[in-house]
A and B are shown apart, each in its own frame.
Chain A
Amino acid sequence: MRRVLTGAVAFDPERPYRRSPGVALRPEPFGALAYDFRTRRLSFLKTPTLVEVVRTLEDQPSVHATLEAAAVPAAQRAAYLGALAGLAEAGTIEPRREGAG
């Protein structure tokens, strides 16, 4: 049967995240296209830094740590967290189980 996106859990930047396995990124001059093969939803990562953050989430123990490692300026942290919360809600990124990733 065709899959349906299940209800999202609240976004928690203290936790580890990752790009969802069904999502592919295509580099573009502005950042990247993100395509979710499960939902057929196309979205846009509108800065190269956001692309870097989404790509490296899985290497870091938390979202905060990822932003730190990607050198996102303090003044932009809130905007990035907002964007990432949106991506989590859309299923582009998802919580990573500790020890599993």
Chain B
Amino acid sequence: MRLVEHFKHGLTAPICLTWELTYACNLACVHCLSSSGRRDPRELSTAECRALIDEFQRMQIFYVNIGGGEPTVRPDFWHLVDYAVDHHVGVKFSTNGVRITPARATALAGTDYVDVQISLDGATAEVNDAVRGPGSYDMALGAMRHLRDAGFRDFKISVVMTRHNVDQLDAFAAIALEYGAQLRITRLRPSGRGADVWDELHPTAAQQLQLYDWLVAHGEKVLTGDSFFHLNALGSAPLAGLNLCGAGRVVCLVDPVGDVYACPFAIHREFLAGNVRVPGGFAGVWGGSELFERLRLPSGGGACASCSAYDSCQGGCMAAKFFTGLPLDGPDPECVKGHGERALASVGAGAAGAAPRSDVDHSRRRGPVPLTLGRRAPADRACDTSPLAGLGAV
């Protein structure tokens, strides 16, 4: 069996585990995939977090991607990072930079096993702040400056690709070079508050091609969290990475209240596998959830099975389909053959139409009418280490 087939059947533990520590966030990004803003009173306690790290260690989950919300606003954040590292669970955490002071940057630069990922969605303040909020560009660049000055090499700058920043790819690469950082670009998903803005922000078909061509030309140096495999049918060269949906197979999310979802972009009860607080803990959920067992079964490709591109794109992203109201066994809304656009037209107006919405929403309310759709917190995540690294072995 080829290695990738093993991945489809699921591994003994995830390769790429995202752990969101809190729904609290100082920002209010319009595309926040977890609809973050306010802390949830049921969030895992420090002791529960430590017990979960112990479990990760027992399962040999070698590293976790910590996010939020803004994880660094948890008072026990640095303690938990240290605890994880001391227990051989490496950490990469995503932040908007709010707590990356010069002193903190120096401490981080002296710690192996910890990687930092700064979210930046525009190469200019104008483009970034329109999505992430006023002042967020300066905050991110301040954190980057502190990391660079402290000698922290190769931290990550993570960009969610939108209609307004595809033209800035070269500028992002220049910023990464300037700060001794590594560029990471990921796909905008219609998850969380992303559903509210997906129609207007997701790259156009022409931009998808532009993005694909840029990745083929620069892919060696740029991380993608394996998030653009739906574009593979645009050319003969597959993009670096696993190129299949890893949800519940090699990927999962633990949210701040301990709920385990199939992937970070799928916070919806439809993709809820269980909770780490029940007997059996995280290992029990990973190994025993009916949802995950189902996701590990072979899928025939459904409506896409007869498409010549199916082998390349594998039908695309489950979350992108779900939150735009498309059937999971049909085309991705951004299908490069155009099947997604036709499918969207048939179900309504895409994400803003009849699509299912998550019942998990921690957006800060503005004004007395909570029905108004909010605008808040940061997006990104998924794996940076290419799951195919080191495939040379036998």
Contact = CB atoms under 8 A, between A and B. Distances in A.
10 contacts: A2-B112, A26-B12, A28-B6, A30-B1, A35-B63, A42-B62, A44-B391, A50-B393, A50-B394, A90-B390
A7 to B, nearest CB: 18
Interface string B21-64: 00000000000000000000000000000000000000010110
Given A3-B112, A35-B60, A87-B390, 14 more contacts: A2-B112, A2-B153, A26-B13, A30-B1, A35-B62, A37-B88, A40-B385, A41-B390, A42-B62, A43-B389, A43-B390, A43-B391, A46-B393, A80-B394
Interface residues of A, number: 31
B392 A83 contact: yes
B3 A44 contact: yes
Given A28-B12, A33-B15, A40-B90, A46 B394 contact: yes
Contact of B151 (A1, A47, A90): A1
Given A28-B12, A33-B15, A40 B3 contact: no
B90 A37 contact: yes
A10 interface: no
B6 A37 contact: no
Contacts of A44: 3, 390-391, 393
Interface string A42-61: 11111100100000000000
A41 B3 CA distance: 17
Interface residues of B, number: 29
Contacts of A21: none
Nearest to B13: A26
A34 interface: yes
Interface in A52-101: 79-80, 82-83, 86-87, 90, 92
Contacts of B112: 2-3, 37-38
Contacts of B13: 26
Given A37-B112, A83-B393, A24 B387 contact: no
B390 A30 contact: no
A83 B394 contact: yes
Interface string B84-126: 0000101000000000000000000110110100000000000
Which of the listed residues B15, B112, B151, B393 has the most CB atoms from chain A within 10 Å of its own CB? B393
B62 A41 contact: no
B164 interface: no
A86 B389 CA distance: 12
Contacts of A42: 15, 62, 385, 387, 389-390
Given A26-B62, A42-B62, A86 B392 contact: yes
Contacts of A82: 394
B389 A41 contact: yes
A90 B390 CA distance: 8
Nearest to B151: A1
B365 interface: no
A41 B88 contact: no
A39 to B, nearest CB: 10
Interface in B151-178: 151-153
B339 interface: no
Contacts of A1: 109-110, 151
A40 B88 contact: no
B337 interface: no
A83 to B, nearest CB: 4
Contacts of A86: 390, 392-393
A40 B223 CA distance: 14
A63 B273 CA distance: 45
A85 to B, nearest CB: 9
Contacts of A46: 3, 393-394
With most chain B CB atoms within 10 A of its CB, the pick from A26, A42, A47 is A42
Nearest to A30: B6
B185 to A, nearest CB: 19
B393 A45 contact: yes
Nearest to B114: A2
Contacts of B140: none
A24 B88 contact: yes
B9 interface: yes
A43 B113 CA distance: 17
Contacts of B352: none
Contacts of B88: 24, 37
A47 B394 contact: yes
